[in-house]
Each structure stands twice: as C-alpha cells, then as structure tokens.
Chains A and B, each alone.
Chain A
Amino acid sequence: MKNPLLRFCAAGAVLLSSLLTASAADSKLIVAMLPKSKGNAYFISCKAGADKAAKELGIQLLFDGPTDSNAAKQNEIVENWITLGVDVIAVAAENKEGISTALRKAQKQGIKVLTYDADAMADARSFFINQATPQGIGQTLMDEAARLVGAEGEFAMIVGSLTAANQREWQKYVEVRLKEKFPKMKLVAVRPCDDLKDKAQSEATALLSANPKLKLIMAICSPGVPGAAEAVKQAGLTGKVKVMGLGLPNENKRYVHAGVTDSVILWNTGDLGYLTIYAGVALAKDELKKGAKSLKTGALGSFAIEGDNILLGQPFIFNQSNIDRFDF
C-alpha cells in the first residue's frame, strides 16, 4: 500500500509544482515587506503605496506579516524569506531585539535589510525609513492635544494592547512631553482596546462617565480613534470632549466631518510604503550606499538622509479642512 501511494503523491506533486513554478520563474527583483500586523489599516495603506512603487519599478513585492502583532511570528516570516532568497527585506519591527537576530542572519546571506515604521538594532539593517521618531510622534500628539484643550485639564489614553511595544514607546514620550511642558494637564487613565474598535468604544464610554472632568481622549491605535469618537458621539459630548489620536483618514472622515474627532495625526502612510520600496530597490542595485545624503524617488521627488535614517518628513495633522484630500 505504501509504495504505490508514495509514487502517486510524488507524481502529483511534480505535476503541480511544474504548473506553479512556471508562473513564478520570472526573475524579477523581490522585495519582501513585513508589517507589524497585516490586518491593520495603517499597514494596508502602506501597502497601497508600496504596490504603486513596485509597479513603477517592475519588481515583485511580497507583503506578509502576522495577523496580530506578534514578535515570534515576525521572526518566523523573516526566516522564511531568508530561505526563499528574496533580495530585500523591509521590516516594521514589533520587537527591536527579537527581530534583529533574524535580520543579521539575512544580512549574512547577502540580503539587503531595511526597517520602516519601527526600527530594529542599528547593526541589523542598512537604513531606517524614518517617518517620525517615537519622540516626534509623542511630542506631536501631546502638543496637538494641548492645543485642543488649551493646555489645561484631564485627558485619557486608549492604547491597542498593553503589550504592543511601539505604542508603549509613543505613550512614554507623550508622558515625557506632558511632564516637561504641560503641568496643568493630567493623564487620568490608560485603557487597552485589544485593537478592537468595539472595545475601544466601551472603554471610552466608561472613561467618560468615570471622569466627568475629562477634556480629551487620545487614542494611539488606529481602531481606537473611531471607537472613541463613536463613544463621545453617543454620550452627546461632541465638542465638549475632544477626540484625537493616531489614525487613518478614511476610518475617521465621518467623525471629523461631524466635529467629533478634532484631529487625526499620521504621516502619509502611502508615501511611507512608496519610499520604502524605492529605498529597497536602490539598496539592492547598489545605488544607495552608506553616507548618501539623499534618495530620489519617482513621483515623490527626493528625500533627505540623515546618517542611516531616510526621513519621510513630519507627521501630518488631518482635520476638517484637509482630510478629504486624502484617501487611505
């Protein structure tokens, strides 16, 4: 029974493989891009920009990642890419130290490594596409929050999960900035929403009734902003309690127009993806080397390089006046 079965399987596998590999045999440059969490709208919009760049440059783009932020899975995917022999790996690191081992291994195999969105250890990659440092994000968030409430009063934060590393970083810098510059403001609570919009709404509702003096809710995960906005809207506190945070224009447009959400802060994520691909290809073709001062891209012109950081530019503040101009 065993031998015929084996033979049958082998034959089937050969047949199928010839079909499958035939279509993959085009020898395009392969850039693999790893988001923190694939389902997150933030990274989906990154992918849109990356796709555009990939088409312009005629390369193959692999875009894969964990469905939830998970450092272990990120490592596994990178290691898979190493054995797949891709040309460039671009990573948004969930965990700095954790991913770096895998990235160093990739470099050893001659694969070019970039980081975007969140950096790894400096020796584990060539360049970091710096959309904004955690410090910069924290500052911008806090400054905008202070502007909205006149630098005075209580505010609360909604975070993705209690264990998401980048958000803890942002939160840290928000708190640093708060301490330095806004003594009259007070952070009264930090609640997790497990990256669930519905849970963010429940949490925000509870925050509102628990803290009657609350002036503002800052959500630093993208499902959190519309969730908090819906809570404020339902509580009838539109305008009285400000909502702001890190989020995507499309998910928040209706709340911004309704005056519930005041500002949504984000860099142009599409551009981030676009720039990452351009940088990756340049790196693979040896057009981008250490010490370069700028990088030219197709549609977006050139970007400045500072050390090993390629700068995307400052975070962008979307509000009623400009949000309709963006679609991502």
Chain B
Amino acid sequence: MSTAAHAPASFNRYRRDWRALLTRHEMLLLYVLIAEWLFFYFAGTSTNRRGVIVGFGTWDRQFDILRHSCEIGLLALALTPVIITAGIDLSVGSLLGLCAILFGKLWHDAGLSIPVAIGLTLGIGALAGALNAVLITALRLPPLIVTLGTYSLFRGLAEAITRGSITYTDFPETFLFIGQERWLGLPTQAWIFLLVALAMGLLLHRTTYGRAFRTIGLAPEGARYAGLPVERRLALVYVLAGLIAAIAAIIYTARLGQAKADAGTGYELFAITAVVLGGTSIFGGTGTIVGTLLGVAAIAVLKNGLACLPVVMRLNAAEEMSGLFTGALLLAALTASVLPKILSNLRPRRHSSTQSIPPLSP
C-alpha cells in the first residue's frame, strides 16, 4: 500500500498547476481587455474646443458602455449554461422582442401596474423558454433547429401582435429609472445585470446544478449513468434562458422608453460571440461566468472605444469596424484555443486522425 505517496502537499502543488491551466483563457482575455482599454484610454481621449476632457477616458463613457452592454450581457449570461450543456439557443433575441411588446401590452392595453406587468412578463419569458425545453428534452430534438424555429416564431408573434407598428411608449418615470438613471453611482440596470451575473455565477460554479450542466455537456450519457436528472437539468437551462431574456426585455424597454417588435434583433449573435470569446466551448462542458463577462466587456470596449478613435470617426465607420474586429477577435480566440493541440498533434502524426472532425455540436 502506498498511501504515503498521496500526501496532501503533492496534491496542492498539482492543484495550482491545474488551476493555472484552466484560467489561462480567461487570463489571456483579461490581458486583451486591459490592452484594449489602455489603448482606447490613450488614443480615444482628448480635450475638446471648450477645454473639456472628452472621449473614452471619461467616467460618463465608462458608464455608457456598462449601460449599453446590459442587454447583450444578460443574453450572454443566459446562453453560458446553455452552451455549457452543449446546446444553443438562437431564440433569445427574438424572445427579448416578444417579451418587450408583451410587457408594453400588459401595461398599456391591459392596464396592469408596472410591477405586475414585469412579473407576468418574466413568467411569459420562462414559459417561452419552457417551449424550447420541452421540444429539446421531451422530443430529443437538436437545440439548433428547435431554437431556429422559435427564433422565427417569437419574432413573428411579436410582429403579429403589434401588427408591426404599435410602439408602446410614455412609461412612467419610476419605470424609466431602471434604464436611464443611476442608482448608488452605477446605472440602475447595471445592478440588475451584476445581480444576475452573480446569481448565474453562483448557480454555475457553486451549486450542484452547475456541476450537472458541465457533466451533461461533457458526457450526456455519463451523466445519465451517474443518476443525474439530465432532462430536468437541460430543461432548466432553457427556461432560465427565457427568463433572463425577459429581464433583458424589461431593461431594454426602460432604457429606450419604448417597446417595439424589433427589440433585440440580432442580439443573439453578439451574445453567442461573447460567450465563445469568453472561453466557453461550443462543444460543451467548459466555460465560466467570469469568462463570459470578460467576453462581453471585450466586445463592448472594442465597440465603444472604436467609436472614440479620431481615425474611425473620420471614416464614419465605428459599427462596421467593431463588427470586423469582433469577428477577427473571435476567429483569433478560436484558433488560439486549438493551436497547442494542433502543434502537439503534429509530431505523432497518425494518432490524431482517430479523433475525427468535430461534428456540428449542438
């Protein structure tokens, strides 16, 4: 018996190495983020004609970035557990639109008070998520296709309900406070965002649910054989995504002061990009909330920072440039993530081929 060999000391050393390995992606992203931020801080800040310091390096700008990132950030938070279970949800952006106009309708047409309308909207979001969940878990359908369908369906319903044109506005000041004012120094919605991030972080990293999500993503059959309630956990992930999309809808409505059927168009793509950039594997199993937050921040800083660069301003192309760089950043992150494996595979040439091309994951 060699129990003596397993002295705790040697365990600890291993643990540290392993932690470093795990956080490597997040650390890299953090360096990129810091570099980005510093670059824009120096290159995107200037003094204007009236002698006021303007541009990226102002507190206002930082708060704006935070304010503008909340909805996409929330969707990215919603998608992190989904992608960790090796699934995907394309419908969150459309659901944001549907929830926004249903919220408007509940408040304006049905005459409900704001808190009741918010409560009902969250319920509707969860319900819509449950529709995805049922199709994916009970019928064992691929999430990509199910949510492609609901992507069309939710947006279509939003348009059908408002006949495209109805825009709900004139929300009370108290409600707009959520989206337009500051509370305790930060934009109000940032508190909600941080709260959700904290909740998701705890759920994912500190509870048995997060464990189950990861296990399902890595080995769905293995999870079943370990007695984990695979279907129930998967369902939860999609319901949560629906719920968070509804929260994002509320914030969106409060920020713009309007609820319209086109709310959140294309957000799902940015959210997925942020999640993948944050180191969550599209094949499932790995990913952290911190990574997602960094991914969201990297995209947001890039987008807002570019808009402050004199060169970009002169080209009038902030949005295109940020899209371009985001795409490039995503490709670079992906390539960087497989490069070590590719390099190490180059030497023992034939072995690698037994593990074949990754299939379309979700």
Contacts and interface: CB of A to CB of B under 8 A. Distances in A.
Q: Which range contains the number of B residues in contact with the other chain?
A: 35 or more
A163 B316 CA distance: 26
Nearest to B256: A98
Contacts of A84: 48, 54-55, 308, 313
B327 interface: no
Contacts of A96: 169
Given A85-B54, A163-B261, A5 B255 contact: no
Interface in B129-178: 159, 162-165, 167, 169-170, 176
A258 interface: no
A80 B304 contact: yes
B64 interface: yes
B345 interface: no
Nearest to A172: B165
Nearest to A190: B164
B309 interface: yes
Contacts of A171: 165
Contacts, number: 149
Contact of A64 (B43, B46, B255, B318): B318
B258 interface: yes
A144 interface: no
B257 A97 contact: yes
B159 A83 contact: no
B39 A71 contact: no
Interface stretch (A12-20, A236-244, A274-282, A308-316): A12-20
A25 B48 CA distance: 8
A165 B231 CA distance: 43
Given A72-B255, A77-B307, A110-B50, 19 more contacts: A9-B31, A9-B35, A16-B39, A17-B43, A20-B311, A21-B43, A62-B316, A64-B313, A67-B319, A68-B265, A75-B255, A77-B318, A79-B68, A85-B48, A85-B52, A87-B49, A95-B260, A163-B162, A163-B262
Interface of A: 2, 5-6, 9-10, 12-14, 16-17, 20-21, 23-25, 27-30, 38, 62-64, 66-68, 70-73, 75-77, 79-80, 82-87, 95-98, 100-101, 110, 161-163, 165, 168, 171, 192
Interface of B: 31, 34-35, 38-39, 41-44, 46, 48-50, 52, 54-56, 58, 60-61, 64, 67-68, 71, 159, 162-165, 167, 169-170, 176, 180, 252, 255-258, 260-263, 265, 304, 307-311, 313, 316-320
